[in-house]
């Protein structure tokens, strides 16, 4: 593998982003907060800067592989880097399809960064998902799919001769124990739950608070979200803006209605603009029944607990264990070290603190992320380049 050629191209792309930082913030700011835009620009620059080290020991066959990419609904620039630009450094062809709501911004980014000049092997197709699957995915060596698990299974069934790399999502709980730094816990939970207006597959969909500090942390969360500006994208001061898919807002509305007795800080839902302001909901862990809701909105769903046994029971439920990615915990409990979980444990921090484009991402939940070829499927944290390299080096997927 020609590392210097890869480094040169990655540096060209990095320079394009750096030179257009201000324009990118305004462009991305039509779809997300300026705060989110700046964050994904920084992550994109970092990921491209780390490409040389990421590829240093890899032996992926260059200019031979055909890759089809199904883009996620959020973070268009960072997604372009991770799921198109980096694979485009070695692939013969990368064909990408963005969700309908993101096609305009993805095309604008493609043109602004002059991708046709630096990486002419990357092509955008603004066609239906079904057509993309039939025309491009089924004939690709590798498929990069980000989205719902059930849709990933459909792609897997349709493309048994392709290496499928699936990036999904999870519940990603936060746990605050009695000895925690409550200021840090509240700050980090708010940061993760409101990132990109709550529209992130790594969002914290449940917060477990020990009863002894539950009221304190809940109050601190409620106070912090009071200072968050809710409005329309394009305003530099807006931190929470419209939800991109109206279906998420409709689903959330039904959930909020059932949770009304437990709402401790009432937000609002603007159905015209699909904007959701922060809600804080708190109830006992023993009163929770059924699966956890995946919000894609700034909703803080708090469950209070007294004993570690209560956590162990609920964390072993299929809707958490199957989608295991990360668990952020503040403070500790001796029993936590013996917890059998497919999630990666993060002490005193959140996913955004550790996520880095040149490192494996995710957990070991069978529905959170996986690599699959033929009848073999393995769930583990994913770094796309290393999964592809391992596959071709070993003539198949290895544990």
Do 161 and 289 lie in a common domain? no
Predicted confidence (pLDDT) at residue 71 exceeds the cutoff of 90: yes
pLDDT per position as a tens digit, 350-388? 999 999 999 999 999 999 999 999 999 999 999 999 999
In angstroms, the CA 66 to CA 52 distance is: 22
**Start-to-end CA span in the chain (Å):** 24
Read off the CATH number of the domain in which 31 is found.
3.40.605.10
Do 306 and 381 lie in a common domain? no
In angstroms, the CA 374 to CA 305 distance is: 43
Q: Mapping DSSP to helix (H, G, I), strand (E, B) and coil, where does residue 3 land? A: helix
| Mean pLDDT score, 299-320 | 92
Q: So what's the pLDDT on residue 206?
A: 97
Residue 361 lies in a domain: no
Q: Mapping DSSP to helix (H, G, I), strand (E, B) and coil, where does residue 197 land? A: helix
Do 97 and 200 lie in a common domain? no
Residue 143 lies in a domain: yes
Q: So what's the pLDDT on residue 88?
A: 96
Do 133 and 244 lie in a common domain? no
Residue 359 lies in a domain: no
At which residue do the structure tokens 């911004």 appear? Answer: 105
Instruction: Judge whether 166 and 152 are in contact, CB under 8 Å.
Output: yes
Do 178 and 162 lie in a common domain? no
In angstroms, the CA 49 to CA 29 distance is: 24
Do 110 and 208 lie in a common domain? no
Q: Which three-class secondary structure string do you get for 241-282?
A: CECCCHHHHHHHHHHHHHHHHHEEECCCEECCCCEECCEEEE
Q: So what's the pLDDT on residue 290?
A: 84
pLDDT per position as a tens digit, 198-245? 998 889 999 999 999 999 999 999 999 999 999 999 999 999 999 988
pLDDT per position as a tens digit, 23-43? 999 999 999 999 999 999 999
Q: What is the DSSP string of 78-106?
A: HHHIIIIIHHHTT-SEEEEE--GGGHHHH
Q: So what's the pLDDT on residue 245?
A: 84
Residue 160 lies in a domain: yes
In angstroms, the CA 84 to CA 115 distance is: 10
Q: What is the DSSP string of 118-182?
A: H-TTEEE--S-HHHHHHHTGGG-SEEEEES-HHHHHHHHHH-TTSEEEEE------EEE-TTS-H
Would strands 269-270 and 275-276 be described as parallel, antiparallel, or unpaired? Answer: antiparallel
- The chain-wide mean pLDDT, for the chain, equals 94
Do 36 and 57 lie in a common domain? yes
Please give the model's pTM, rounded to 2 decimal places: 0.95
Q: So what's the pLDDT on residue 250?
A: 86
Do 90 and 67 lie in a common domain? yes
Residue 360 lies in a domain: no
Read off the CATH number of the domain in which 339 is found.
3.40.309.10
Q: So what's the pLDDT on residue 267?
A: 96
3-state DSSP percent of the chain in helix, strand and coil, to 5: 45, 20, 35
Predicted confidence (pLDDT) at residue 338 exceeds the cutoff of 90: no
Q: So what's the pLDDT on residue 2?
A: 87
Would strands 299-305 and 326-330 be described as parallel, antiparallel, or unpaired? Answer: unpaired
Do 94 and 133 lie in a common domain? yes
| Mean pLDDT score, 71-83 | 95
* Structure-token pair, residue 390: 């391992």
In angstroms, the CA 384 to CA 351 distance is: 18
Q: Mapping DSSP to helix (H, G, I), strand (E, B) and coil, where does residue 296 land? A: coil
Do 158 and 112 lie in a common domain? yes
| Integer-rounded Cα radius of gyration of the chain | 21
In angstroms, the CA 282 to CA 31 distance is: 30
Q: So what's the pLDDT on residue 159?
A: 95
Number of domains in the chain: 2
Those residues whose C-beta lies under 8 Å from the C-beta of residue 4, and which sit 6 or more positions away, are none
Do 95 and 153 lie in a common domain? yes
Q: Mapping DSSP to helix (H, G, I), strand (E, B) and coil, where does residue 198 land? A: helix
Q: So what's the pLDDT on residue 395?
A: 87
Q: Which domain holds residue 38?
A: 3-168+368-393
Q: How far is CA 133 from each of CA 137, 140, 169, 203, rounded to the nearest angstrom?
A: 5, 10, 21, 28
Do 191 and 113 lie in a common domain? no
Residue 275 lies in a domain: yes
In angstroms, the CA 249 to CA 269 distance is: 8
Instruction: Judge whether 73 and 100 are in contact, CB under 8 Å.
Output: no
Cα angle: 34, vertex 94, 195; to 5 degrees: 20
């Amino acid at each position: 593998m020609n590392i210097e050629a890869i480094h040169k191209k990655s540096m060209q792309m990095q320079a394009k982003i750096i030179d257009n930082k201000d324009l990118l913030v305004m462009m991305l700011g039509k779809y997300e907060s300026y705060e989110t835009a700046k964050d994904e620009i920084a992550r994109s620059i970092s990921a491209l800067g780390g490409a040389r080290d990421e590829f240093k020991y890899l032996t992926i066959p260059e200019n031979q592989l055909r890759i089809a990419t199904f883009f996620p609904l959020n973070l268009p620039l960072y997604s372009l880097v991770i799921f198109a630009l980096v694979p485009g450094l070695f692939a013969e062809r990368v064909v990408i399809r963005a969700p309908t709501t993101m096609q305009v911004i993805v095309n604008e980014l493609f043109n602004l960064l002059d991708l046709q000049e630096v990486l002419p092997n990357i092509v955008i197709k603004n066609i239906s998902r079904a057509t993309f699957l039939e025309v491009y995915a089924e004939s690709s060596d590798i498929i990069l799919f980000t989205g719902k698990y059930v849709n990933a299974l459909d792609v897997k069934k349709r493309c048994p001769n392709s290496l499928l790399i699936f990036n999904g999502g999870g519940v990603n709980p936060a746990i605050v124990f009695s000895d925690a730094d409550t200021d840090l816990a509240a700050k980090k939970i708010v940061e993760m739950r409101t990132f990109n207006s709550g529209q992130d597959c790594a969002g914290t969909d449940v917060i477990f608070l020990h009863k002894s500090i539950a009221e304190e942390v809940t109050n601190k969360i409620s106070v912090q979200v009071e200072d968050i500006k809710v409005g329309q994208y394009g305003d530099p001061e807006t931190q929470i803006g419209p939800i991109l898919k109206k279906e998420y807002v409709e689903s959330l509305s039904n959930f909020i209605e059932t949770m009304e007795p437990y709402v401790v800080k009432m937000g609002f839902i603007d159905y015209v603009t699909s904007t959701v302001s922060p809600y804080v909901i708190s109830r006992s862990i023993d009163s929770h029944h059924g699966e956890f809701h995946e919000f894609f909105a700034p909703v803080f769903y708090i469950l209070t607990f007294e004993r570690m046994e209560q956590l162990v029971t609920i964390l072993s439920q299929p809707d958490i264990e199957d989608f295991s990615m990360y668990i952020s915990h503040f403070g500790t409990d001796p029993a936590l070290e013996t917890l059998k979980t497919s999630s990666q444990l993060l002490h005193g921090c959140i996913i955004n603190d550790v996520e880095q484009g040149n490192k494996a991402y995710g957990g070991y939940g069978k529905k959170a992320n996986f690599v699959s070829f033929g009848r073999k499927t393995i769930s583990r944290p994913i770094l796309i380049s290393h999964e592809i390299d391992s596959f071709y080096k070993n003539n198949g997927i290895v544990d």
